[in-house]
Structure 1
């Protein structure tokens, strides 16, 4: 099976090890739990299925059972922290540790570039502005941004996107997008996408006072709904997003960079017994 440094999900690693052992021997979940020093015969099964977590002592037991030392041990601890952290701040710290260890050991994680792209509002804005301003220097692109960004940050973003294959350089300070639409809703990118959505939500609040009603569109509905209606509303919002994407794909020029947030979130807890009412 693959080296642990090639994984980003510790549960997947533990499951793959079990599957490998099962194929090559009469290995059981009881054997797995015993190997890792646990008395419960199903503990490792529950961990792999996400029904149980690894505490600090349990993490050490599993690391010892696999004989992890040095960077592999550090990586395993970071991977467990990343999966089980309750705050985005701790998740980001653990993920950064994982990426640092992997890079130092020349292990490339698929999706690492995508994570970096969605981690900051600067990258998607530069991705739109740079092709729309042929010949412009990073300082000129930075000045076009409503929110503060330095020329250095713009240059670093352009260099990163060229290396990642998001932008393509076609001439002196001239760029094109390799794809018109990028998607970022996969589970592996959830942390970075949450960061992006948080930044953009703050910009949306700022836009209420910064721009006139003619320059922005802000609208909302406060509503009481059933679970069935909620599903239908989400489906309608997805279709709306797809229609907007089609408009973008058929638009041949960029005169301004905008952000569209589709937000639907609870304002109350669930009402007990409401599902039984006619």
Structure 2
């Protein structure tokens, strides 16, 4: 069975634990529940199937039944906190705690790099900017970023990008991008992408006030459509986005880093059939 630090879903860990025990001995969900001290013989099966959530008092019971101690117990507890979180803020808090615990115990968890990279827009910005400024000091790189960032932060970001193999530092001190993509689990990547989109949108708001109209391009359309038309529009956006990537990849004389946000979002709830009848 894989180490618990390779899991991002506590339910998957519980299923794998059950399967491992069942392969080597007579083991049932009833026995699993009994070992943990639960009155209901089906409770842990329901939890592992995603039909209910492991309660706070149940965390210690389930962990004890699976023989988890020390850091493994703490990691499992935080996995439960992440899996049971009701919103992005709670999920982000659990991920930060996971990363802190992993660093303290000198253990690298699967999602740590993805979360750190997408949590702060400065990481992708510095990844793009550093190769454009050969042998520049941390302070010189920081001075080119339009939102506030210190030389010390640039130093730490560059160290992380090199360690995560997202940048390569050459013998002459220059940087170049690697082809490595930022990877994470199916549970974490949607969360960190939402976090990045939100923070990039905040930078877009700042750009309206700080940058001249010659340096930025903002436009918007308020329109009434239905789901079918929405689907057509999003397909066209995907085609356009890929075309923009191809155009950007053709650029060989890069001198600046830009962000392009493509956003289509609802401004109202859907009008029901009864709403439409009233209009008539």
TM-score normalised by the chain length of structure 1: 0.87
Which string of whole-angstrom CA distances, capped at 9 and with x for unpartnered residues, describes residues 32-67 of structure 1? 344433344433233223221122122232123224
Is the 8 Å Cα contact of residues 114 and 183 (structure 2) preserved in structure 1?
Answer: no
Is the 8 Å Cα contact of residues 138 and 151 (structure 1) preserved in structure 2?
Answer: yes
Aligned pairs for 1:28-39 (under 5 A) are: 28-39=28-39
Q: Tell me the equivalent position of 2:219.
A: 219
Aligned residue pair count: 276
Report the Cα offset of residue 153 of structure 1: 0.9
Structure 2 distance, partners of 1:139, 1:30, is 62
Instruction: Find out whether 1:165 has 2:165 as its counterpart.
Output: yes
Structure 2 distance, partners of 1:170, 1:3, is 34
Is the 8 Å Cα contact of residues 166 and 179 (structure 1) preserved in structure 2?
Answer: yes
Is the 8 Å Cα contact of residues 47 and 54 (structure 1) preserved in structure 2?
Answer: yes
Instruction: Find out whether 1:201 has 2:201 as its counterpart.
Output: yes
Q: Tell me the equivalent position of 1:59.
A: 59
Structure 2 CA distance for partners of 1:272 and 1:178, relative to 1, 3 Å: same
Q: Tell me the equivalent position of 2:99.
A: 99
Structure 1 distance, partners of 2:273, 2:57, is 42
Structure 2 CA distance for partners of 1:59 and 1:119, relative to 1, 3 Å: same
Corresponding residue SS for 2:259: coil
Corresponding residue SS for 1:168: strand
Runs of 5+ unmatched residues, structure 2 = none
Structure 2 distance, partners of 1:22, 1:230, is 48
Corresponding residue SS for 1:51: coil
Corresponding residue SS for 2:162: helix
Structure 2 distance, partners of 1:185, 1:271, is 36
Is the 8 Å Cα contact of residues 14 and 48 (structure 1) preserved in structure 2?
Answer: yes
Report the Cα offset of residue 182 of structure 1: 6.0
Q: Tell me the equivalent position of 2:270.
A: 270
Report the Cα offset of residue 106 of structure 1: 4.2
Aligned pairs for 1:124-139 (under 5 A) are: 124-139=124-139
Structure 2 CA distance for partners of 1:42 and 1:247, relative to 1, 3 Å: farther
Structure 2 CA distance for partners of 1:141 and 1:68, relative to 1, 3 Å: same
Report the Cα offset of residue 122 of structure 1: 1.0
Q: Tell me the equivalent position of 2:85.
A: 85
Q: Tell me the equivalent position of 2:117.
A: 117
Corresponding residue SS for 2:168: strand
Which string of whole-angstrom CA distances, capped at 9 and with x for unpartnered residues, describes residues 161-220 of structure 1? 112111112254421111397688954333332222221111111112222322211122
Which string of whole-angstrom CA distances, capped at 9 and with x for unpartnered residues, describes residues 105-162 of structure 1? 4433234223211111111111111111112111111111111111111111112111
Structure 2 CA distance for partners of 1:50 and 1:228, relative to 1, 3 Å: farther
Structure 2 distance, partners of 1:180, 1:97, is 26
Structure 2 distance, partners of 1:224, 1:184, is 37
Is the 8 Å Cα contact of residues 9 and 187 (structure 2) preserved in structure 1?
Answer: no
Runs of 5+ unmatched residues, structure 1 = none
Structure 2 CA distance for partners of 1:14 and 1:271, relative to 1, 3 Å: farther
Is the 8 Å Cα contact of residues 6 and 107 (structure 1) preserved in structure 2?
Answer: no
